[in-house]
Amino acid sequence: MMKIKDKSNSAADFLDKAMRYCTYRERSAAEVEFKLSVLGCDPKTSTNVIDQLKEEGYVNDARFAEAFAGSKFRTRKWGKTKIRYELKAKGIDNDLIIRALGGIPAEEYQSVLDGLLKTKYKTFNKGSSIQIKQKLMSYAFSKGYETDVVYGALARIFKD
């Protein structure tokens, strides 16, 4: 593999820009590749830059997937379906996605969904029980929660 060190070389400039891009937050290799193409980097140089970034620990798709999944779940309260879709769109391998989603504790996952649905339920003041359940299901699906998990949460909410 080619080491890029000479700052007068345009490849070194791309490496420097990519390093700065990766220090802001975790990035996937596909995100870095896209950024380099936007900057005008040719595919061969881009591959070399990404390889060097991986070697130096700036880019790690497994680390990115875990950080992304945890962040989107905890801050935006996304479900696993939506997280999976977004990680796929960012070029993450399916095995890494499965591992990242496995890092979300099942109890916390259910608790977050229950909380979301209870909060949303309080906003409804009209409608039959069936209409309210349909609205809650639509809301949960839009957040990316799986069908069986949503049905379980609705059963717990309407049991109380």
pLDDT, position 6: 40
- What global pTM score does this model have? 0.86
Band (158; pLDDT cuts 50, 70, 90)? confident
pLDDT digits (tens, 9 = 90+) for 30-80: 999 999 999 999 999 999 999 999 999 999 999 999 999 999 999 999 999
| 137, HSE (Cβ side, Cα atoms, 13 Å) | 13
> Are both 72 and 49 inside the same structural domain?
no
Show the domain range for 91: 62-102
- What CATH number has the domain bearing residue 27? 1.10.10.10
The answer to whether position 5 is within a domain reads no
Q: Report H helices in 39-146.
A: 43-55, 61-76, 80-89, 94-102, 106-122, 129-142
Structure tokens that stand for 102 in this block = 């496995």
- Kindly state the average pLDDT of the residues 100-105: 97
Does 1 reside within a domain? Answer: no
| Number of domains observed in the structure of the chain | 3
